Structures are given as structure tokens and as C-alpha cells.
Amino acid sequence: MAGEIRATDTPGVGKKVYAVVFQGANTWNSGNTFAAPTRAIMNANTVALTEQDLSGVFTGNFPVGITTPGRYGVLLYEQAGGSPSVVADTPLAPAPPIDWTGTVLATIGTVINSGGTAFRTTYPMTKNTAFGNFMFVMLDSTTHLPKSGLGGGVAATRDLDNSAFVTCANAATEIANGWYAINLAAADLNGNNVALRFTASNADDTDISLVLQG
């Protein structure tokens, strides 16, 4: 399988886009190893993305050397010079998290083990049915790493079937390590296509699109 990492950018001949892979707060350091992020490590361990037919759609392969199952974060950059520089290059919107079995992308409903803990990558969600403990990540607006300490400062809104964003029924709460959770009420999920938006001061927006069953 290939093309697991995807990005969009303005089309351009010779434009270079690359990804930096994270596991929690640590960045990929070649093979199956991760380390505290430094400029040198991030610049040396990037994934080059290739534009598809000048469409502004860029794709790249998730590193096959990563054999530990789990959920991985992906930061994207548009390269300005001859080699990657996370300081000088332009950050793009982060890619969605990648659920990795150790060899391929996990499919809906796949149960994988990470650190001895089994978890299901994607839960089927039903229209107009409450869903408890929906979890998501918030990223720091400067470092673009998982952002802890937001507490109850995360604003949660939702849009049902392209209507308008309104406040979710319940407030989001902090878990740890940049992860947060919210109990989604039935009213928050009473649509076929639901957009969730989570915002906070000094944090990137987290935007999630859901296609519901039923």
C-alpha cells in the first residue's frame, strides 16, 4: 500500500511538500525509533510528498520502517529551499492522524495494540444517537505539537449537513498529553454529515468531518 500521507496546497511546477511523523510528543528518528523533537532530527527524517498531475494534491508513503502499531500524527510543510527546514519552511494544515497496524493503514473497526493497550481505530457512529467520550487532539499554535493545559478552555461547535456551526451540548474536558474528550449528545449528531470544530487560545483549530450511519 502507498500514498497513506496526503496534503493539499496550491498547484505549482517543482513545488516540494514534506511530512514529519510524530508518535505522541516524539518525532520519527528513522527506522522504528522516535526521539524528542529537534530541528536536526525533524529535518533529517522527513517524508517527501509528490504532487499528482499539478492538482495541488500531494501524496507520500508512510515510513515502512515504523512497525509499532498505533496512532501517529503528521505535520506538513511546503519546502522553500534545497532541503527541508521546519524553521524556514511554511507549515501547512496538519494531516489527519494515521492509524497504523505496523504494516498498513488500519481499516474501520480494526483493533490494534499499542503499548499493550488494545483500541479500536474507528467507531461506527449512528445519526441522532449520543456518543460518549469522543476523543481528539489539540495542537499548539506555535510548535504544532500536542497541547496540554487547555483544561475547559476548548470551545466545541458542530455543523449538521452544511447548516451553521452552533455550540455542542456538552463541554470538552482534558485527558492528558494533548488529548481531550467530549460527550456528544444526540442533537450534536442529528445529521448525515457532521462537522466538529474545536478551538482554544494558543492552539490550532481541530476540524473533524463525520459521515454517520442510519
**Beta strands 47-51; 57-60: pairing state:** antiparallel
Residues 159 and 57 in one domain: no
pLDDT of residue 108 exceeding 70, the answer is no
Residues 105 and 176 in one domain: no
Residues 107 and 18 in one domain: yes
Q: What is the pLDDT of residue 95?
A: 85
Residues 23 and 93 in one domain: yes
Number of domains making up the chain: 2
Residues 99 and 189 in one domain: no
Averaged pLDDT of the chain = 87
Residues 83 and 170 in one domain: no
pLDDT in tens, 127-181: 898 988 888 889 898 988 889 999 999 999 999 998 999 999 999 999 988 899 9
Residues 78 and 13 in one domain: yes
Give this prediction's pTM.
0.56
- Please identify, among 88, 116, 144, the residue that sits at the C-terminal boundary of a domain: 116
pLDDT in tens, 93-107: 888 888 887 888 775
Instruction: CATH number of the domain at 197, please.
Output: 2.60.40
Residues 151 and 195 in one domain: yes
Q: Can you spell out the DSSP letters for 141-168?
A: TTT-SB----TT--EEEEEESSS--EE-
Residues 201 and 171 in one domain: yes
Residues 205 and 137 in one domain: yes
Summarize the confidence of residues 18-41 as an average pLDDT: 94
Residues spanned by the domain of 154: 131-211
Distance from C-alpha of 183 to C-alpha of 173, rounded to nearest angstrom: 9
pLDDT band of residue 115 (cuts 50, 70, 90) is very low
Residues 112 and 144 in one domain: no
- Please identify, among 91, 116, 141, the residue that sits at the C-terminal boundary of a domain: 116
Q: What is the pLDDT of residue 124?
A: 61
Q: Select the more confidently predicted residue: 106 or 13.
A: 13
Residues 73 and 163 in one domain: no
Three-class secondary structure of residue 138 per DSSP = coil
pLDDT of residue 214 exceeding 60, the answer is yes
Q: What is the pLDDT of residue 111?
A: 45
Q: Select the more confidently predicted residue: 209 or 120.
A: 209
pLDDT of residue 83 exceeding 60, the answer is yes
Taking the chain, what is the end-to-end CA distance rounded to the nearest angstrom? 31
pLDDT of residue 49 exceeding 90, the answer is yes
Cell of 161: 449537513
Query: Is 204 a member of any domain?
Result: yes
